[in-house]
Structure 1
Amino acid sequence: MVIAAMRLNQIRDLLAVVEAGSLRAAARRIGISQPAMSKSLAQLERELHAQLVLRTARGIVLTPAGRAFVARGRVVEAELRKARDDLSALRGSREGAVAFGVGPAVTVPLVPDAMARFRAKWPRAHVRIREGMRTALLPLVRDETLDFTISENVAPGGEAGLQFRPLIKPELVIVGRRGHPLAHAKTLQELAAADWLIFNPPGARGALERTFEASGLPPPKALVHCESYATALALIARSDLLGLVLRELTELSLADRFVQRWRLREKISPPTIGIFSRADTPLSPAAAAMIQSLGAAARALPKHI
């Protein structure tokens, strides 16, 4: 009975409030009045017999009931969007939407080429790209905030509820500023005591930790945990921090002027980068087309799986 009384626009309104952080901003985004937005939320709370939000001086805060409902509401909204896109595609439309995440290691070699391929066939589709590490992006795939994410696969047994499609095995290199005190080091052992910048949380078995482990060395001293390659390269170029980054990034003109690569005797195993998507939900036509474009872009690279 509760589901029958509930209207889809009420779910839409609640999600808009959560994303915008306030009733006024959410109402403006959707194009309705603030009183209408307040009325919609109040009706939803009455029908669910639960308080979903708290109004504070700093904006809207979800209650425990609100957090539980929003998790389900996002799935409902995502499935409805996919259904609309499916019907539009059957009519020959190319106006769908796709939202996906990317880890910082894959932006340079894959995304620009894939986007050009996608735009050639879906010129009017709306695309949303969110950058972040896999620990932040995988939950967004599970709740269907994102259609999929391109991230490193570090779990041998796979991720529960998700399927993985490998794309590339990029080359990683150690970099530091030009004129670094350890510029002449030839082994990982010589760099073990250096200060490092890492992209994954300590203990998450990121590429740097795995590289040290493979050489029989303890984890490096990680002083900075950064989730953006642009910020990381700027920090490395202006400090004595070292980092393990994608080789293509060191070949960009700006990076090449300020950082140098270490050519060590040890071989650094490349990570497996691929696409995580929900295993139990079909992709929308636009999302499927974007994945096809990413696959084509990966196959066009000199080294791909």
Structure 2
Amino acid sequence: MKELPKINQLRNFQAIVRYGSITMASQALFQTQPAMTRSMQELERILGVTLLSRGPQGMVLTKIGRIFESRVNLILNDIERAVDELQQISQLSQGSVVFGCSHLPAFSVLPSLINKFQAENPSATITIIEGQLSELITSIRLGRLDFFIGIASPEISMSEFFIEKSIKTEFFVIARKGHPLANSQSLSQLQGAKWYFPHSNTGYYKNLERMIFPMGRSKEDTVIYGDSMTIGEQLVMHEDYLFIGPKAILNVEQLRNRLSVVPVEEKLPEATYILIYRQQQGLTPLAAQLMKKIGTACFDFLTGKA
């Protein structure tokens, strides 16, 4: 059998790439610089290729090194998950879960649900990454996220993922009550308005922008992009920004009496909310438990059952 790299060699390689130098990587991993250098020399000997070269700004990946790095990240992530899963099987309430979600779930049902789940699993570590699918897809594919819940992007293939849940929902133009444009009857009457859109390079919101600005944005149109609902709420409530969202958002307790749908005649395209995870990765018991709770709560909210 061909000699294989050791785990510590892969970790050292990953650290050098992350920190940009052998000196910084050795300090971060509490190793001596000579030991780190020998580790990389041994790794390159085993592989028979050069992974790193010295550049003006420190150590940089070679072409082969860039290919190898993506595999190393997957390998180390899967090993960490395997160890975590075994620990969770013996002690279900322990372990870590990292998941991604778009702004609506993060703002509506997740805060109270996560708080309750953490209380039930006090030793668990939960990390939430907010963003659109187009921005988080690489992290999902690399196994850095256990699962994702949010709006699907038609441009992104779902062939490598399990779709746990999927639902279509209508979207509307939404403004604060009393907004000067709150009674507008068409999108043309919203020319020159201020908008807050989720940050996305592709997908539903980009297609929506083309519908709202068919001739492109004018000098009077203002658009701010972001995935922070806290900032978005301040812009909508205090700076008269408009946004696009499902009618269900009007059921959020702190927004119920503060927002209204702008009754434009144009019907906006439906958005598809999905709950997905990577097929090859599977889920740890803790992640599966949390995903099920989030899926039920979010989809009940979207359908008005919550």
Alignment correspondent of 1:128: 127
Q: Say which SS state the counterpart of residue 272 (structure 1) adopts.
A: strand
Q: Contact 2:88 / 2:284 at 8 angstroms: preserved in 1?
A: no
Q: Which amino acid aligns with 2:50?
A: Q
Alignment correspondent of 1:293: 293
Shift of the 108–19 alpha-carbon distance from structure 1 to 2, 3 Å rule, reads: farther
Q: How do 1:108-257 and structure 2 match up within 5 A?
A: 108-155=107-154, 158-166=157-165, 172-175=171-174, 182-192=181-191, 194-201=193-200, 204-207=202-205, 209-210=207-208, 213=211, 218=214, 221=217, 224=223, 226-229=225-228, 230-235=230-235, 241-245=241-245, 248=249
Shift of 1:23: 4.0
Take 2:215 and 2:122, find their aligned partners in 1: how far apart are those partners?
46
Asked whether 1:99 is paired with 2:98, we answer yes
Q: Which amino acid aligns with 2:184?
A: A
Q: Say which SS state the counterpart of residue 144 (structure 1) adopts.
A: coil
Q: Which amino acid aligns with 2:243?
A: G
Alignment correspondent of 2:41: 42
Q: Contact 2:12 / 2:40 at 8 angstroms: preserved in 1?
A: yes
Shift of the 239–61 alpha-carbon distance from structure 1 to 2, 3 Å rule, reads: farther
Gaps of 5+ in 1: none
Shift of 1:234: 4.6
Aligned length: 299
Take 1:9 and 1:35, find their aligned partners in 2: how far apart are those partners?
15
Shift of 1:7: 0.3
Take 1:168 and 1:60, find their aligned partners in 2: how far apart are those partners?
47
Take 2:148 and 2:19, find their aligned partners in 1: how far apart are those partners?
23
Q: Contact 1:174 / 1:242 at 8 angstroms: preserved in 2?
A: yes
Take 2:51 and 2:20, find their aligned partners in 1: how far apart are those partners?
14
Q: Contact 1:196 / 1:241 at 8 angstroms: preserved in 2?
A: yes
Alignment correspondent of 2:282: 282
Q: Say which SS state the counterpart of residue 112 (structure 1) adopts.
A: helix
Take 2:208 and 2:223, find their aligned partners in 1: how far apart are those partners?
18
Q: Contact 1:167 / 1:298 at 8 angstroms: preserved in 2?
A: no
Q: Contact 2:196 / 2:226 at 8 angstroms: preserved in 1?
A: no
Take 1:127 and 1:17, find their aligned partners in 2: how far apart are those partners?
27
Shift of 1:228: 1.9
Q: Say which SS state the counterpart of residue 109 (structure 2) adopts.
A: helix
Q: Say which SS state the counterpart of residue 108 (structure 2) adopts.
A: helix
Moved more, 263-272 or 158-167: 263-272
Take 1:251 and 1:91, find their aligned partners in 2: how far apart are those partners?
38
Take 1:249 and 1:34, find their aligned partners in 2: how far apart are those partners?
58
Shift of the 41–285 alpha-carbon distance from structure 1 to 2, 3 Å rule, reads: farther
Q: Say which SS state the counterpart of residue 115 (structure 2) adopts.
A: helix
Take 1:303 and 1:58, find their aligned partners in 2: how far apart are those partners?
53
Q: Deviations over 1:23-77 (max 9, x none)?
A: 4554444333444333323322232233323444545433322221121112211
Shift of 1:301: 3.4
Calculate percent identity across the aligned residue pairs.
26
Q: Which amino acid aligns with 1:293?
A: K
Shift of the 201–292 alpha-carbon distance from structure 1 to 2, 3 Å rule, reads: closer
Alignment correspondent of 2:14: 15
Q: Say which SS state the counterpart of residue 277 (structure 2) adopts.
A: strand
Alignment correspondent of 1:75: 74
Take 2:81 and 2:73, find their aligned partners in 1: how far apart are those partners?
12
Take 2:24 and 2:148, find their aligned partners in 1: how far apart are those partners?
28
Q: Contact 2:163 / 2:277 at 8 angstroms: preserved in 1?
A: yes
Scaled by the length of structure 1, the TM-score of the pair is 0.77
Q: Deviations over 1:107-150 (max 9, x none)?
A: 11232233234324432122232222211211211121222222
Q: Which amino acid aligns with 1:84?
A: V
Alignment correspondent of 2:61: 62
Alignment correspondent of 1:51: 50
Shift of 1:193: 5.5
Gaps of 5+ in 2: none
Q: Contact 2:92 / 2:285 at 8 angstroms: preserved in 1?
A: no
